[in-house]
Amino acid sequence: MSDNYKKAMPVPGPESVPFWEGAKNHQLMAQKCLRCHHHWFPPSSVCTSCGSRDIEWVVLSGKGTVFSFVVFHRLYHKGWDGEIPYVVGVIELKEGARMLSNIIGVPVENVKCDMPVEVVFDDVTEKLTLPKFKPV
Protein backbone atom coordinates (compact mmCIF):
# COMPACT_ATOMS: atom_id res chain seq x y z
CA MET A 1 0.00 0.00 0.00
CA SER A 2 1.32 3.39 -0.92
CA ASP A 3 0.54 6.95 0.15
CA ASN A 4 1.97 8.45 -3.00
CA TYR A 5 0.18 6.41 -5.63
CA LYS A 6 0.85 8.10 -8.97
CA LYS A 7 -1.28 6.15 -11.45
CA ALA A 8 -4.71 7.25 -12.63
CA MET A 9 -7.51 6.67 -10.12
CA PRO A 10 -10.77 5.29 -11.47
CA VAL A 11 -13.79 7.58 -11.23
CA PRO A 12 -16.59 5.07 -10.65
CA GLY A 13 -19.94 5.69 -12.26
CA PRO A 14 -22.93 5.21 -9.92
CA GLU A 15 -23.72 1.81 -11.48
CA SER A 16 -20.28 0.36 -10.82
CA VAL A 17 -20.02 1.06 -7.09
CA PRO A 18 -20.69 -2.64 -6.23
CA PHE A 19 -17.72 -3.67 -8.38
CA TRP A 20 -15.31 -1.33 -6.59
CA GLU A 21 -16.74 -2.07 -3.13
CA GLY A 22 -16.39 -5.78 -3.90
CA ALA A 23 -12.77 -5.32 -4.97
CA LYS A 24 -12.03 -3.60 -1.66
CA ASN A 25 -13.34 -6.74 0.06
CA HIS A 26 -11.26 -8.89 -2.30
CA GLN A 27 -14.29 -10.14 -4.18
CA LEU A 28 -14.55 -9.96 -7.97
CA MET A 29 -18.09 -8.83 -8.77
CA ALA A 30 -20.17 -8.79 -11.94
CA GLN A 31 -23.84 -8.88 -12.82
CA LYS A 32 -25.80 -12.05 -13.51
CA CYS A 33 -29.17 -12.58 -15.18
CA LEU A 34 -31.58 -14.52 -13.00
CA ARG A 35 -33.49 -15.69 -16.08
CA CYS A 36 -30.76 -16.93 -18.47
CA HIS A 37 -27.76 -17.03 -16.06
CA HIS A 38 -25.63 -14.87 -18.39
CA HIS A 39 -22.84 -12.86 -16.69
CA TRP A 40 -21.57 -9.60 -18.08
CA PHE A 41 -19.38 -6.55 -17.54
CA PRO A 42 -19.32 -3.50 -17.46
CA PRO A 43 -22.47 -2.88 -15.40
CA SER A 44 -25.87 -2.04 -16.85
CA SER A 45 -29.55 -2.28 -15.94
CA VAL A 46 -30.43 -5.14 -18.26
CA CYS A 47 -29.14 -8.57 -19.22
CA THR A 48 -26.93 -8.04 -22.26
CA SER A 49 -27.87 -11.49 -23.58
CA CYS A 50 -31.66 -11.92 -23.14
CA GLY A 51 -32.82 -8.43 -22.23
CA SER A 52 -34.27 -9.40 -18.85
CA ARG A 53 -34.29 -6.77 -16.09
CA ASP A 54 -34.26 -9.50 -13.45
CA ILE A 55 -30.57 -9.26 -12.56
CA GLU A 56 -28.26 -9.23 -9.55
CA TRP A 57 -24.63 -8.67 -8.54
CA VAL A 58 -22.72 -11.88 -7.78
CA VAL A 59 -19.20 -12.83 -6.73
CA LEU A 60 -17.25 -14.48 -9.54
CA SER A 61 -14.78 -17.34 -9.19
CA GLY A 62 -11.93 -15.06 -10.26
CA LYS A 63 -10.69 -17.74 -12.66
CA GLY A 64 -10.52 -17.27 -16.39
CA THR A 65 -8.30 -17.03 -19.45
CA VAL A 66 -6.55 -14.27 -21.36
CA PHE A 67 -8.80 -13.48 -24.34
CA SER A 68 -6.32 -10.97 -25.71
CA PHE A 69 -3.59 -8.63 -24.50
CA VAL A 70 -1.24 -5.82 -25.47
CA VAL A 71 2.18 -4.86 -24.14
CA PHE A 72 2.80 -1.17 -23.48
CA HIS A 73 6.34 -0.23 -24.51
CA ARG A 74 5.61 3.49 -24.51
CA LEU A 75 4.93 5.62 -21.47
CA TYR A 76 1.54 7.36 -21.73
CA HIS A 77 1.17 8.31 -18.06
CA LYS A 78 3.96 9.20 -15.67
CA GLY A 79 2.54 6.87 -13.04
CA TRP A 80 3.88 3.95 -15.08
CA ASP A 81 7.44 5.28 -15.23
CA GLY A 82 9.83 2.43 -14.49
CA GLU A 83 7.21 -0.27 -15.17
CA ILE A 84 7.52 -0.39 -18.98
CA PRO A 85 6.86 -2.87 -20.53
CA TYR A 86 3.59 -3.81 -18.83
CA VAL A 87 0.66 -5.95 -19.98
CA VAL A 88 -2.99 -4.96 -20.30
CA GLY A 89 -5.31 -7.83 -21.08
CA VAL A 90 -8.93 -8.69 -21.73
CA ILE A 91 -9.76 -11.49 -19.30
CA GLU A 92 -12.56 -13.91 -20.06
CA LEU A 93 -13.86 -15.09 -16.69
CA LYS A 94 -15.04 -18.69 -16.30
CA GLU A 95 -18.60 -17.34 -15.92
CA GLY A 96 -18.37 -15.68 -19.35
CA ALA A 97 -17.96 -11.98 -18.55
CA ARG A 98 -14.90 -10.24 -20.01
CA MET A 99 -13.04 -7.43 -18.28
CA LEU A 100 -9.95 -5.32 -18.73
CA SER A 101 -7.07 -5.60 -16.28
CA ASN A 102 -3.33 -6.05 -15.90
CA ILE A 103 -1.62 -9.41 -16.24
CA ILE A 104 1.15 -9.58 -13.67
CA GLY A 105 3.58 -12.06 -12.15
CA VAL A 106 4.83 -13.35 -15.49
CA PRO A 107 7.53 -12.15 -17.93
CA VAL A 108 5.75 -10.19 -20.68
CA GLU A 109 7.10 -12.49 -23.41
CA ASN A 110 5.37 -15.46 -21.74
CA VAL A 111 1.86 -13.99 -21.87
CA LYS A 112 -0.32 -15.84 -24.42
CA CYS A 113 -3.94 -15.75 -25.51
CA ASP A 114 -6.11 -18.40 -23.82
CA MET A 115 -3.59 -18.72 -20.97
CA PRO A 116 -5.35 -19.62 -17.66
CA VAL A 117 -5.24 -16.83 -15.08
CA GLU A 118 -6.77 -16.02 -11.70
CA VAL A 119 -7.54 -12.81 -9.89
CA VAL A 120 -5.21 -11.22 -7.35
CA PHE A 121 -6.25 -8.14 -5.41
CA ASP A 122 -3.80 -5.28 -5.32
CA ASP A 123 -4.58 -2.82 -2.50
CA VAL A 124 -2.94 0.14 -4.17
CA THR A 125 -4.25 2.75 -1.68
CA GLU A 126 -6.38 2.62 1.42
CA LYS A 127 -9.43 3.39 -0.68
CA LEU A 128 -8.64 1.55 -3.91
CA THR A 129 -8.12 -2.11 -4.69
CA LEU A 130 -7.48 -3.17 -8.27
CA PRO A 131 -8.32 -6.72 -9.33
CA LYS A 132 -5.39 -7.92 -11.45
CA PHE A 133 -4.65 -11.33 -12.93
CA LYS A 134 -1.72 -13.73 -12.75
CA PRO A 135 -1.12 -17.09 -14.41
CA VAL A 136 -2.53 -20.07 -12.56
DSSP string, 100-129: EEEB-SS-GGG--TT-EEEEEEEE-SSS-E
Q: How many CB atoms lie within 10 A of CB 51?
A: 10
- Of 11 and 56, which has the nearer Cβ to another protein? 11
Q: Are 38 and 32 in contact (CB under 8 A)?
A: yes
Binding mask 72-111 for another protein (x = CB under 8 A): xxx-xxxxx--x-xx-x-x-------xxxxx---------
> Judged by CB under 8 A, does residue 67 bind another protein?
yes
Binding mask 22-41 for another protein (x = CB under 8 A): --------------------
Q: Are 84 and 59 in contact (CB under 8 A)?
A: no
Site residues (vs another protein, CB under 8 A) = 7-13, 16, 20, 42, 48, 67-74, 76-80, 83, 85-86, 88, 90, 98-102, 112-114, 128, 130, 132
